[in-house]
Protein backbone atom coordinates (compact mmCIF):
# COMPACT_ATOMS: atom_id res chain seq x y z
CA UNK A 1 0.00 0.00 0.00
CA UNK A 2 1.43 3.38 -1.02
CA UNK A 3 2.43 5.96 1.59
CA UNK A 4 3.87 9.42 1.05
CA UNK A 5 7.58 9.83 1.77
CA UNK A 6 7.96 13.16 3.56
CA UNK A 7 9.86 14.67 6.47
CA UNK A 8 6.80 13.93 8.62
CA UNK A 9 8.01 10.35 9.00
CA UNK A 10 11.33 11.42 10.55
CA UNK A 11 11.11 12.83 14.11
CA UNK A 12 14.58 14.41 14.13
CA UNK A 13 17.36 15.33 11.73
CA UNK A 14 20.76 16.83 12.47
CA UNK A 15 20.17 19.65 9.97
CA UNK A 16 17.11 20.83 11.94
CA UNK A 17 19.06 21.51 15.15
CA UNK A 18 20.10 24.99 14.05
CA UNK A 19 16.47 26.08 13.55
CA UNK A 20 15.07 28.98 15.57
CA UNK A 21 13.67 27.86 18.96
CA UNK A 22 14.78 24.24 18.45
CA UNK A 23 14.14 22.21 21.63
CA UNK A 24 16.15 19.12 22.57
CA UNK A 25 13.42 18.19 25.08
CA UNK A 26 10.75 18.25 22.35
CA UNK A 27 13.08 16.30 20.05
CA UNK A 28 13.41 13.52 22.64
CA UNK A 29 9.63 13.44 23.10
CA UNK A 30 9.08 13.17 19.34
CA UNK A 31 11.59 10.32 19.06
CA UNK A 32 9.78 8.41 21.81
CA UNK A 33 6.34 9.09 20.27
CA UNK A 34 7.47 7.85 16.86
CA UNK A 35 9.14 4.81 18.44
CA UNK A 36 5.91 3.81 20.18
CA UNK A 37 3.86 4.10 16.99
CA UNK A 38 6.32 2.12 14.88
CA UNK A 39 6.84 -0.58 17.52
CA UNK A 40 3.11 -1.28 17.59
CA UNK A 41 2.66 -0.96 13.78
CA UNK A 42 0.41 2.07 14.12
CA UNK A 43 -2.22 0.48 16.37
CA UNK A 44 -4.68 2.76 18.21
CA UNK A 45 -3.14 2.25 21.71
CA UNK A 46 0.27 3.29 20.38
CA UNK A 47 -1.15 6.53 18.97
CA UNK A 48 -2.87 7.16 22.30
CA UNK A 49 0.42 6.74 24.17
CA UNK A 50 2.15 9.05 21.71
CA UNK A 51 -0.55 11.67 22.27
CA UNK A 52 -0.07 11.43 26.05
CA UNK A 53 3.63 12.26 25.54
CA UNK A 54 3.11 15.15 23.13
CA UNK A 55 -0.12 16.81 24.33
CA UNK A 56 1.52 18.56 27.33
CA UNK A 57 4.11 20.07 24.95
CA UNK A 58 1.58 21.77 22.68
CA UNK A 59 2.23 25.16 24.28
CA UNK A 60 5.98 24.73 24.73
CA UNK A 61 8.62 26.71 22.85
CA UNK A 62 9.92 24.75 19.85
CA UNK A 63 10.95 25.22 16.23
CA UNK A 64 8.36 25.49 13.48
CA UNK A 65 9.34 22.09 12.11
CA UNK A 66 9.06 20.44 15.50
CA UNK A 67 5.60 21.98 15.98
CA UNK A 68 4.60 20.70 12.54
CA UNK A 69 5.54 17.17 13.67
CA UNK A 70 3.78 17.51 17.05
CA UNK A 71 0.57 18.71 15.39
CA UNK A 72 0.81 15.93 12.80
CA UNK A 73 1.13 13.19 15.44
CA UNK A 74 -1.67 14.66 17.55
CA UNK A 75 -3.90 14.84 14.47
CA UNK A 76 -3.27 11.21 13.54
CA UNK A 77 -3.62 10.06 17.17
CA UNK A 78 -6.99 11.79 17.56
CA UNK A 79 -8.16 10.48 14.18
CA UNK A 80 -7.24 6.96 15.33
CA UNK A 81 -10.00 7.42 17.94
CA UNK A 82 -12.40 8.45 15.13
CA UNK A 83 -12.55 12.06 16.42
CA UNK A 84 -11.99 13.51 12.96
CA UNK A 85 -13.43 16.96 13.61
CA UNK A 86 -10.93 17.59 16.41
CA UNK A 87 -8.16 15.96 14.38
CA UNK A 88 -8.72 18.41 11.52
CA UNK A 89 -7.87 21.33 13.83
CA UNK A 90 -4.42 19.89 14.58
CA UNK A 91 -3.92 18.89 10.96
CA UNK A 92 -4.63 22.42 9.74
CA UNK A 93 -1.98 23.76 12.14
CA UNK A 94 0.53 21.26 10.78
CA UNK A 95 -0.40 22.19 7.21
CA UNK A 96 0.04 25.89 7.92
CA UNK A 97 3.54 25.22 9.26
CA UNK A 98 4.40 23.02 6.25
CA UNK A 99 3.50 25.95 4.00
CA UNK A 100 5.63 28.29 6.14
CA UNK A 101 8.56 25.87 5.79
CA UNK A 102 7.90 25.50 2.05
CA UNK A 103 7.94 21.72 2.55
CA UNK A 104 6.05 20.50 -0.52
CA UNK A 105 6.33 16.81 0.34
CA UNK A 106 4.83 17.40 3.78
CA UNK A 107 2.06 19.54 2.30
CA UNK A 108 1.18 16.76 -0.16
CA UNK A 109 0.92 14.21 2.62
CA UNK A 110 -1.10 16.53 4.86
CA UNK A 111 -3.57 17.39 2.11
CA UNK A 112 -3.97 13.68 1.35
CA UNK A 113 -4.52 12.99 5.06
CA UNK A 114 -6.98 15.88 5.30
CA UNK A 115 -8.93 14.35 2.42
CA UNK A 116 -9.15 11.04 4.26
CA UNK A 117 -10.42 12.79 7.42
CA UNK A 118 -13.06 14.65 5.41
CA UNK A 119 -14.01 11.40 3.71
CA UNK A 120 -14.57 9.83 7.13
CA UNK A 121 -16.89 12.74 7.94
CA UNK A 122 -18.71 12.18 4.59
CA UNK A 123 -17.49 15.59 3.40
CA UNK A 124 -16.65 14.44 -0.09
CA UNK A 125 -16.67 17.92 -1.64
CA UNK A 126 -13.97 18.96 0.83
CA UNK A 127 -12.07 15.72 0.20
CA UNK A 128 -12.13 16.49 -3.53
CA UNK A 129 -10.71 19.96 -2.83
CA UNK A 130 -7.92 18.49 -0.67
CA UNK A 131 -7.05 15.94 -3.35
CA UNK A 132 -6.88 18.63 -6.03
CA UNK A 133 -4.58 20.71 -3.78
CA UNK A 134 -2.31 17.68 -3.47
CA UNK A 135 -2.25 17.19 -7.24
CA UNK A 136 -1.49 20.89 -7.79
CA UNK A 137 1.47 20.61 -5.41
CA UNK A 138 2.74 17.55 -7.27
CA UNK A 139 2.49 19.56 -10.51
CA UNK A 140 4.43 22.43 -8.93
CA UNK A 141 7.06 20.04 -7.63
CA UNK A 142 7.51 18.61 -11.12
CA UNK A 143 7.97 22.10 -12.58
CA UNK A 144 10.27 23.42 -9.84
CA UNK A 145 12.37 20.36 -9.03
CA UNK A 146 11.92 18.33 -12.21
CA UNK A 147 10.79 15.32 -10.15
CA UNK A 148 7.82 13.17 -11.15
CA UNK A 149 6.02 11.27 -8.39
CA UNK A 150 3.85 8.97 -10.49
CA UNK A 151 3.00 6.73 -7.55
CA UNK A 152 1.77 9.66 -5.47
CA UNK A 153 -0.32 10.92 -8.38
CA UNK A 154 -1.84 7.49 -8.99
CA UNK A 155 -2.64 7.11 -5.29
CA UNK A 156 -4.31 10.53 -5.18
CA UNK A 157 -6.30 10.08 -8.40
CA UNK A 158 -7.56 6.69 -7.18
CA UNK A 159 -9.01 8.34 -4.06
CA UNK A 160 -10.29 11.33 -6.03
CA UNK A 161 -12.28 8.99 -8.29
CA UNK A 162 -13.98 7.52 -5.23
CA UNK A 163 -14.76 10.90 -3.66
CA UNK A 164 -16.21 12.17 -6.94
CA UNK A 165 -18.44 9.12 -7.27
CA UNK A 166 -19.93 9.43 -3.80
CA UNK A 167 -20.65 13.14 -4.11
CA UNK A 168 -22.44 12.52 -7.41
CA UNK A 169 -19.84 13.73 -9.93
CA UNK A 170 -19.48 10.72 -12.26
CA UNK A 171 -17.67 12.68 -14.99
CA UNK A 172 -14.91 13.72 -12.57
CA UNK A 173 -14.73 10.11 -11.37
CA UNK A 174 -14.32 8.88 -14.94
CA UNK A 175 -11.59 11.43 -15.73
CA UNK A 176 -9.74 10.43 -12.57
CA UNK A 177 -9.99 6.78 -13.56
CA UNK A 178 -8.43 7.60 -16.93
CA UNK A 179 -5.50 9.24 -15.12
CA UNK A 180 -5.08 6.18 -12.89
CA UNK A 181 -4.94 3.85 -15.88
CA UNK A 182 -2.37 5.98 -17.68
CA UNK A 183 -0.20 6.17 -14.55
CA UNK A 184 -0.61 2.45 -13.86
CA UNK A 185 1.29 1.76 -17.07
CA UNK A 186 4.32 3.40 -15.43
CA UNK A 187 4.03 1.49 -12.14
CA UNK A 188 3.93 -2.24 -11.52
CA UNK A 189 3.66 -2.22 -7.72
CA UNK A 190 0.55 -0.16 -6.97
CA UNK A 191 -1.96 -2.90 -7.53
CA UNK A 192 -3.98 -1.97 -4.45
CA UNK A 193 -4.50 1.63 -5.56
CA UNK A 194 -5.46 0.45 -9.03
CA UNK A 195 -7.91 -2.01 -7.45
CA UNK A 196 -9.42 0.84 -5.40
CA UNK A 197 -9.90 2.86 -8.57
CA UNK A 198 -11.44 -0.05 -10.47
CA UNK A 199 -13.84 -0.61 -7.58
CA UNK A 200 -15.08 2.91 -8.28
CA UNK A 201 -15.58 1.85 -11.91
CA UNK A 202 -17.71 -1.04 -10.62
CA UNK A 203 -19.74 1.47 -8.60
CA UNK A 204 -20.28 3.51 -11.76
CA UNK A 205 -21.47 0.47 -13.70
CA UNK A 206 -23.95 -0.21 -10.89
CA UNK A 207 -25.52 3.26 -10.87
CA UNK A 208 -25.66 3.14 -14.67
CA UNK A 209 -27.97 0.14 -14.27
CA UNK A 210 -25.40 -2.53 -15.16
CA UNK A 211 -25.01 -4.67 -12.02
CA UNK A 212 -23.76 -7.63 -14.08
CA UNK A 213 -20.80 -5.56 -15.32
CA UNK A 214 -20.32 -4.17 -11.81
CA UNK A 215 -19.95 -7.60 -10.20
CA UNK A 216 -17.67 -8.86 -12.97
CA UNK A 217 -15.44 -5.79 -12.74
CA UNK A 218 -15.24 -5.87 -8.94
CA UNK A 219 -14.37 -9.56 -8.91
CA UNK A 220 -11.56 -8.92 -11.41
CA UNK A 221 -9.70 -6.84 -8.77
CA UNK A 222 -10.93 -8.80 -5.74
CA UNK A 223 -7.60 -10.48 -4.91
CA UNK A 224 -5.53 -7.29 -5.30
CA UNK A 225 -7.94 -5.36 -3.08
CA UNK A 226 -8.43 -7.95 -0.34
CA UNK A 227 -4.68 -8.60 -0.09
CA UNK A 228 -3.93 -5.15 1.38
CA UNK A 229 -7.25 -3.72 2.56
CA UNK A 230 -8.06 -3.20 6.22
CA UNK A 231 -10.73 -5.50 7.69
CA UNK A 232 -13.34 -2.72 7.61
CA UNK A 233 -12.50 -1.92 3.97
CA UNK A 234 -12.77 -5.64 3.16
CA UNK A 235 -16.15 -5.65 4.89
CA UNK A 236 -17.37 -2.81 2.65
CA UNK A 237 -16.04 -4.53 -0.48
CA UNK A 238 -17.80 -7.78 0.40
CA UNK A 239 -21.02 -5.84 1.07
CA UNK A 240 -20.75 -4.16 -2.32
CA UNK A 241 -20.34 -7.54 -4.03
CA UNK A 242 -23.52 -8.73 -2.31
CA UNK A 243 -25.47 -5.59 -3.19
CA UNK A 244 -24.66 -5.71 -6.91
CA UNK A 245 -25.19 -9.48 -7.09
CA UNK A 246 -28.64 -9.08 -5.56
CA UNK A 247 -29.44 -6.17 -7.89
CA UNK A 248 -28.49 -8.36 -10.84
CA UNK A 249 -30.50 -11.33 -9.54
CA UNK A 250 -33.51 -9.09 -8.97
CA UNK A 251 -33.50 -8.19 -12.69
CA UNK A 252 -33.48 -11.82 -13.79
CA UNK A 253 -36.68 -13.86 -14.26
CA UNK A 254 -37.20 -17.25 -12.69
CA UNK A 255 -35.88 -20.12 -14.77
CA UNK A 256 -32.70 -18.30 -15.85
CA UNK A 257 -29.37 -18.23 -13.99
CA UNK A 258 -30.98 -16.15 -11.23
CA UNK A 259 -30.38 -18.88 -8.63
CA UNK A 260 -26.72 -19.10 -9.66
CA UNK A 261 -26.27 -15.37 -9.01
CA UNK A 262 -27.94 -15.72 -5.60
CA UNK A 263 -25.58 -18.60 -4.85
CA UNK A 264 -22.67 -16.34 -5.81
CA UNK A 265 -23.88 -13.66 -3.38
CA UNK A 266 -24.23 -15.87 -0.29
CA UNK A 267 -20.53 -16.45 0.66
CA UNK A 268 -19.82 -12.73 0.24
CA UNK A 269 -22.80 -11.92 2.47
CA UNK A 270 -21.57 -14.31 5.15
CA UNK A 271 -18.07 -12.84 4.94
CA UNK A 272 -19.44 -9.27 5.23
CA UNK A 273 -21.42 -10.22 8.33
CA UNK A 274 -18.38 -11.94 9.84
CA UNK A 275 -15.99 -9.04 9.20
CA UNK A 276 -18.45 -6.43 10.49
CA UNK A 277 -18.85 -8.41 13.71
CA UNK A 278 -15.12 -9.08 14.15
CA UNK A 279 -14.20 -5.40 13.72
CA UNK A 280 -17.17 -4.15 15.78
CA UNK A 281 -18.11 -2.06 12.75
CA UNK A 282 -21.64 -1.04 13.77
CA UNK A 283 -22.55 0.78 10.50
CA UNK A 284 -21.08 -2.18 8.61
CA UNK A 285 -23.32 -4.52 10.59
CA UNK A 286 -26.30 -2.39 9.58
CA UNK A 287 -25.33 -2.56 5.90
CA UNK A 288 -24.83 -6.33 6.11
CA UNK A 289 -28.26 -6.65 7.70
CA UNK A 290 -29.82 -4.71 4.80
CA UNK A 291 -28.13 -7.10 2.36
CA UNK A 292 -29.35 -10.09 4.37
CA UNK A 293 -32.93 -8.75 4.19
CA UNK A 294 -32.62 -8.22 0.43
CA UNK A 295 -31.29 -11.77 0.05
CA UNK A 296 -34.18 -13.16 2.12
CA UNK A 297 -36.71 -11.36 -0.07
CA UNK A 298 -35.22 -12.70 -3.30
CA UNK A 299 -34.96 -16.26 -1.96
CA UNK A 300 -38.49 -16.20 -0.53
CA UNK A 301 -37.40 -16.82 3.04
CA UNK A 302 -40.30 -16.82 5.51
CA UNK A 303 -38.97 -14.19 7.95
CA UNK A 304 -40.14 -10.89 9.44
CA UNK A 305 -38.24 -8.48 7.25
CA UNK A 306 -40.07 -5.27 8.19
CA UNK A 307 -39.12 -5.47 11.87
CA UNK A 308 -35.48 -6.08 10.88
CA UNK A 309 -35.57 -3.07 8.57
CA UNK A 310 -37.05 -0.90 11.29
CA UNK A 311 -34.17 -1.95 13.56
CA UNK A 312 -31.63 -0.75 10.97
CA UNK A 313 -33.54 2.52 10.62
CA UNK A 314 -33.30 3.04 14.38
CA UNK A 315 -29.57 2.26 14.23
CA UNK A 316 -29.04 4.79 11.46
CA UNK A 317 -30.83 7.47 13.46
CA UNK A 318 -28.86 6.66 16.62
CA UNK A 319 -25.55 6.87 14.75
CA UNK A 320 -26.58 9.94 12.75
CA UNK A 321 -25.38 8.01 9.70
CA UNK A 322 -27.27 9.51 6.75
CA UNK A 323 -25.77 7.01 4.28
CA UNK A 324 -26.98 4.01 6.29
CA UNK A 325 -30.33 5.67 6.95
CA UNK A 326 -30.94 6.45 3.26
CA UNK A 327 -30.08 2.89 2.27
CA UNK A 328 -32.37 1.51 4.96
CA UNK A 329 -35.29 3.64 3.77
CA UNK A 330 -34.60 2.54 0.19
CA UNK A 331 -34.48 -1.15 1.14
CA UNK A 332 -37.72 -0.76 3.08
CA UNK A 333 -39.27 0.91 0.04
CA UNK A 334 -38.19 -2.00 -2.16
CA UNK A 335 -39.66 -4.47 0.31
CA UNK A 336 -42.97 -2.62 0.38
CA UNK A 337 -43.08 -2.64 -3.44
CA UNK A 338 -42.63 -6.41 -3.25
CA UNK A 339 -45.69 -6.51 -0.97
CA UNK A 340 -47.70 -4.27 -3.33
CA UNK A 341 -47.81 -1.44 -0.77
CA UNK A 342 -47.00 1.15 -3.41
CA UNK A 343 -47.85 4.39 -1.60
CA UNK A 344 -45.95 3.35 1.51
CA UNK A 345 -42.95 2.44 -0.64
CA UNK A 346 -43.03 5.86 -2.33
CA UNK A 347 -43.03 7.53 1.08
CA UNK A 348 -39.93 5.52 2.00
CA UNK A 349 -38.13 6.60 -1.16
CA UNK A 350 -39.04 10.23 -0.41
CA UNK A 351 -37.72 9.79 3.14
CA UNK A 352 -34.44 8.47 1.73
CA UNK A 353 -34.04 11.59 -0.41
CA UNK A 354 -35.00 13.92 2.46
CA UNK A 355 -32.38 12.22 4.63
CA UNK A 356 -29.70 13.12 2.09
CA UNK A 357 -30.69 16.78 1.72
CA UNK A 358 -27.68 18.97 2.45
CA UNK A 359 -25.36 15.95 2.61
CA UNK A 360 -22.36 15.18 0.40
CA UNK A 361 -23.35 11.58 -0.32
CA UNK A 362 -26.06 12.19 -2.89
CA UNK A 363 -25.20 8.98 -4.73
CA UNK A 364 -27.08 7.02 -2.05
CA UNK A 365 -30.30 8.54 -3.36
CA UNK A 366 -29.87 7.07 -6.86
CA UNK A 367 -32.11 4.03 -6.40
CA UNK A 368 -34.81 5.95 -4.53
CA UNK A 369 -34.82 8.73 -7.13
CA UNK A 370 -34.95 6.22 -9.99
CA UNK A 371 -37.83 4.33 -8.33
CA UNK A 372 -39.86 7.53 -7.91
CA UNK A 373 -39.25 8.53 -11.54
CA UNK A 374 -40.24 5.06 -12.75
CA UNK A 375 -43.52 5.28 -10.81
CA UNK A 376 -44.25 8.73 -12.25
CA UNK A 377 -43.63 7.50 -15.79
CA UNK A 378 -45.88 4.49 -15.27
CA UNK A 379 -48.75 6.62 -13.94
CA UNK A 380 -48.73 9.24 -16.69
Determine contact, residues 182/29, Cβ cutoff 8 Å. Answer: no
Out of 229, 257, 284, a domain closes at 229
| Cα–Cα dist 262/268, whole Å | 10
Query: What is the three-class DSSP state of 289?
Result: helix
Q: Is residue 135 part of a domain?
A: yes
pLDDT tens readout for residues 351-376: 999 999 999 998 999 999 999 998 88
Same-domain status, 142 and 99 = no
Helices (H) and strands (E) in the chain, counts: 18, 0
Same-domain status, 138 and 224 = yes
Q: Is residue 276 part of a domain?
A: no
pLDDT score for 375: 85
Out of 73, 104, 135, a domain closes at 104
CA angle at residue 15 from 149 to 1, to 5 degrees?
30
Average pLDDT over residues 177-205: 92
Same-domain status, 14 and 44 = yes
pLDDT tens readout for residues 302-332: 888 999 999 999 999 999 999 999 999 999 9
Say if residue 198's pLDDT is above 90: yes
φ, ψ for residue 219 (rounded to 5)?
-65, -25
Measured N-to-C along each axis, helices 24-39 and 44-54 cross at an angle, to the nearest 10 degrees, of 170
The total of structural domains in the chain comes to 2
End-to-end CA distance of the chain: 52
Same-domain status, 99 and 12 = yes
| Residues sharing a CB contact under 8 Å with residue 380, sequence separation 6 or more, in sequence order | none
Out of 200, 229, 258, a domain closes at 229
Range of the domain at 170: 122-229
Distance of CA 284 to the CA centre of its chain: 13
Amino acid sequence: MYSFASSLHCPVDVIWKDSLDYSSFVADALVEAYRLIRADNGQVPAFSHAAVILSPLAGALMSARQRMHVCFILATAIAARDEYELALGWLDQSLSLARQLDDIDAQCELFWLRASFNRALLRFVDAIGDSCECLDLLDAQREIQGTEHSDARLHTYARLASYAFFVGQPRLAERSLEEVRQLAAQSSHQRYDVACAEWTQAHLYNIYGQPDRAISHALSVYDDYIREATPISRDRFETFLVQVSLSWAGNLPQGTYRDAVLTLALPHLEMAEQLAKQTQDIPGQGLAQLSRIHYQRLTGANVRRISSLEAVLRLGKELGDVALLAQAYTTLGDDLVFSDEVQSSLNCYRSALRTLEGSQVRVYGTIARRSLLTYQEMTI
